[in-house]
Amino acid sequence: MRFGIDLGGTKIELIALANNNQEVYRKRLPTPKNAYVETLNTITQLVADAESTLSVTGSLGIGIPGTLSPDHGLVKNANSTCLIGQKLKEDLQVRLSREVRIANDADCFTLSEACDGAASADNIVFGVILGTGVGGGITINKSLLHGPNAITGEWGHNPLPWPQTHDRPLPPCYCGKQGCIETYLSGPGFKHSYQALSGNSLSPVEIMSRYNQDPHATLAFSYYTDRLARSLATVINILDPDVIALGGGMSNIDAIYPQVEKQWLSYVFSDKVNTRLVKAQHGDSSGVRGAAWLWGEDE
């Protein structure tokens, strides 16, 4: 039995995958706010509840909104700031008396879609999360690509390529830079773009409900897809993936896919783009499924 946990900003969710990769159990609890020890307690409780219900002991993988530094093993780059600098892996292994595997949540998302999701027939996969933030991960032949800095796929903190007049002034990013891809392509970035045009503050769902009726909504979406096309084109130029799988709240806007595939041809260094752009098959469950996939079927 493989357990996967998605450690999110508002919820901590556990699923159990049986040997046939079918989900047999799921439970979620609220994420304690800015409380590291309580977060450990919640994870421990979820595992104990799952094992009691299923009468098994499972392997455990966890997706987190950050990563473990390869230099010292502590959490870094987490937007859940109470995790930063903590010995998360070590502390959980002591509490649970087993090896725990931890990866970035975007890596987990990508692994899930590459192993048994929308990209399961492909070799090189770039997984993208377009949510509160913008993250990414890379798999090759269904294995996560890891680098010496543990930041593979962090395209959201590159600058928006080929900036145009309507992209300026460059918005500030929490990382300390300006004009990061994340500030444009996240859900809050789309909301800010519409607000700058219309003066109104609406959610992405509300904005899209006005698409083709409200000229500000139509223009904001046009800006969004062009920015996404530019940003993904730079990934294609470097990585040349078979498929790019989108997840996160913005990925649920179906109009994104044909529009971006039409627009990115102007930016990719090729006469034709054979890379496919697809929606995640497992939707919001891709991250937690990918955490379980940090352990192979035969382990």
pLDDT on residue 251 = 96
Phi/psi at 11 (5° precision)? -145, 155
Q: Other C-beta atoms within 10 Å of 109: how many? A: 34
Higher pLDDT residue, 106 or 79?
106
Digit-coded pLDDT (tens) for 117-150? 999 999 999 999 998 889 999 999 999 999 999 9
CB 181 within 8 A of CB 128: no
DSSP 201-264: ---HHHHHHTTTTSHHHHHHHHHHHHHHHHHHHHHHHHH--SEEEEESGGGG-TTHHHHHHHHG
Q: Please, are residues 25 and 66 in contact by the beta-carbon 8 Å criterion? A: no
Residue 153 CA to residue 128 CA, distance in Å, equals 9
Indicate if the pLDDT at residue 291 is higher than 90. yes
pLDDT tens readout for residues 195-245:
999 999 999 999 999 999 999 999 999 999 999 999 999 999 999 999 999
Amino acid at position 228, single letter = L
Residues 6+ apart with CB under 8 A from 195: 201, 202
Residue 100's pLDDT is: 97
Q: How high does pLDDT run on average in the chain? A: 94
Residues 185-198 pLDDT 10s: 999 999 999 999 99
With pLDDT > 70 as the criterion, what percentage of the chain qualifies? Answer: 99
Q: What is the pLDDT of residue 16?
A: 96
Residue pLDDT, tens place only, 257-274? 999 999 999 999 999 999
Q: The pTM is what?
A: 0.90
Domains of the chain, first to last: 2-108+285-292 (3.30.420.40), 122-280 (3.30.420.40)
> Residue 160 pLDDT more than 80?
yes
Query: How many CB atoms are located within 10 Å of the residue 223 CB?
Result: 19
The string over 258-292, giving b where at least 16 C-beta atoms fall within 10 Å of a residue's C-beta and e elsewhere, is ebbbebbeebbeeeebebebbbbbbebbbbbbbbb
- What is the pLDDT, as a whole number, of residue 262? 97
Confidence of residue 59 (pLDDT cuts 50, 70, 90): very high
Q: What is the pLDDT of residue 43?
A: 97
The whole-number pLDDT of residue 9 equals 79
- Give the C-alpha separation, 261 to 258, whole Å: 5
Residues of the chain with pLDDT > 90: what percent?
89
Q: What is the mean pLDDT of residues 38-63?
A: 96
DSSP letter (8 states) at residue 108: H
Task: Look at residue 165 in the predicted model and tell me its pLDDT.
Answer: 96
pLDDT given for residue 133 in this prediction: 87
Confidence of residue 8 (pLDDT cuts 50, 70, 90): confident
Q: Residue 106: which H helix or E strand, with range?
A: helix 105-116
Task: Name the 3-class secondary structure at 295.
Answer: coil
Q: Give the pLDDT of residue 103.
A: 95
Rounded CA separation 58/187 (Å): 35
Model confidence band, residue 81 (pLDDT cutoffs 50, 70, 90): confident
Evaluate whether 182 touches 157 at the Cβ level (below 8 Å).
yes
